[in-house]
Structure 1
């Protein structure tokens, strides 16, 4: 069962969550980790930071698998597909956060709870 946020999210929280997802495109897990550790008082930012961290860790595992698979040449396709998915999911997260919606990446491992 997914948890839904019924409270309205203020503009500052939306902006921070937006920064998390845009930063994840360029810097991987670092923006999610920083906001997760710093903004413990804002539940919306913490939930989006956890989601960005979960996606970043999942993508990192996928990139490692893709690098290993480059030895048999299919890894290039895996890396390309993962890069496209990473870009799309981060943009989807940024769009959802800009309107205050709770975004969950569909294929991410839930390692950070």
Structure 2
């Protein structure tokens, strides 16, 4: 009896697909890239859940992730510190604008409100860019950031 290549009962199953590759062009494993992304995005979550941009919630998430992962994941250590420093810097600027408002007995609102809007939009944009870059395995550096946590 000859084999019929068109008979489905006689056909052999195709080989299984190869497992997905764990290699990434950056050389950083997926778990580290995801935790680094979470460090940046946790600032947005903190702003939503607490007092908004410039409040304590924006740097609480990056701080927790940094403390948990700094010894085991070098890329997360770097990116969580970067997110932490950036959010502390933004909080300091927001606080300084509040001081300006109080010192000038409210007249400083003319400067503070537009500044808060511009800084808030820039904060959101830079945080999203940082999350995307870190998920790609790129060590992102925020502009205008004081490096307080080393």
TM-score for both structures, normalised by structure 2: 0.68
Structure 2: gaps of 5 or more residues: 1-24, 47-57
Give the drift of 1:12: 0.5
Equivalences, count? 108
| Divergent runs of 4+, >3 A | none
How far apart are the structure 1 equivalents of 2:81 and 2:119? Answer: 20
* Greater fraction of residues in helix: 1
How far apart are the structure 2 equivalents of 1:81 and 1:21? Answer: 19
Structure 1: gaps of 5 or more residues: 1-5
- Are the aligned partners of 1:93 and 1:103 in contact in 2 as well (CA < 8 Å)? yes
The match for 1:38 is 68
RMSD: 1.5
Larger RCO, structures 1/2 (Cα 8 Å, 6+ apart): 1
The match for 1:64 is 95
Of stretches 64-73 and 12-21 in structure 1, the one that deviates more from structure 2 is 64-73
How far apart are the structure 2 equivalents of 1:67 and 1:19? Answer: 29
TM-score for both structures, normalised by structure 1: 0.88
Give the drift of 1:7: 6.2
Give the drift of 1:69: 3.2
